[in-house]
Chains A and B, each alone.
Chain A
């Protein structure tokens, strides 16, 4: 059941990325290019996703527990630290260089090209290094 739930969630997520145009780095870079021919698509994706999750999470949390697990796994930390903000900064630079964040990069694998393969392999190496640098938080 957990495997089926994971598959359904992944399918919905992948479809959403593709319908939203996030599997096209040109759309993402167009959004980040605030001084150029700005493309608003990403703000629509983020807005639609945040509003849906905001409402849906609150309905789901009323159930008291998820269907297939004994309790919700929700991060509780609220402090800001160098790892969080430095990590976000490094991620933002890589995102701006390529137009890919992790979801769209993995979701685009069926249209694999040399540059995308290089990106995904390097991203997996980056995750490995981050895990070696210390226990992952949250």
Chain B
């Protein structure tokens, strides 16, 4: 190969990912410095997953759609609708855990397919379609059941309380008792999905086509990519992930509630963006997005640990989001300026990109 220039200019996608990872490490390091007692425990780290698996799963879905140059703001409402439907079904007396899983996935896919069809094949603005999807899901949710609904089906309660125990990663509490690390099934689902989807986006034809469509859909069409089908696929997949997130949600909390997962779509968008996905499409990373979400969650944990009024969580999250975005665009802008290249040391360059 060419040996004239050894340092490869890192692609925007990887650069943004590096920034996201660095920000998360810094943020978590800061948290450890401030509250070593709590943040040094493995449990605290895994609790980020245990308690927020649905949000992380939604972040994945949104990143996929955003990489394709779209947006889906219905995911939070669909997730909420799924939790309520599952709760009602499980409490109906005829329900089973397997059936509720299918129900969750079915509802998610139904929304994804419908919205994807309207957006990809009828070429309607994704924002408007998914906004209407959000209203629809919200309306259905309150129509089906208004009050909180606890699921009491024994098999389900068993699943809800199930925890994977990792004895060698525990902590000793204040009383001197050893508490092993507990991981919820939702965490496993979220981690598995991260791995699976990251592979999908990096190595599958669908994933690469989606990057091309997000980068320049006209070119993608000329390159022989089925743009409509690819876009449709991204929304369908995002819908499916909303279904999964809904089931994980109710599996964690064990109850259907009108307020379930409300506002998650915005948090997921924020997480994706902090994680290095660009709203303009074509740039993003499926490992980066959950890291972005974790950054947001760490901030929330920090604020909670500091004992400040929880209203401040939103304020601080908002401000930090703004700072991150400005930081990202400043870095990209600096790169765009002629004669400036962020030359990374060889060991930091992404594998396979060393020239």
Are A and B bound to each other?
no
Residues of A within 8 A of B (CB): none
Residues of B within 8 A of A (CB): none
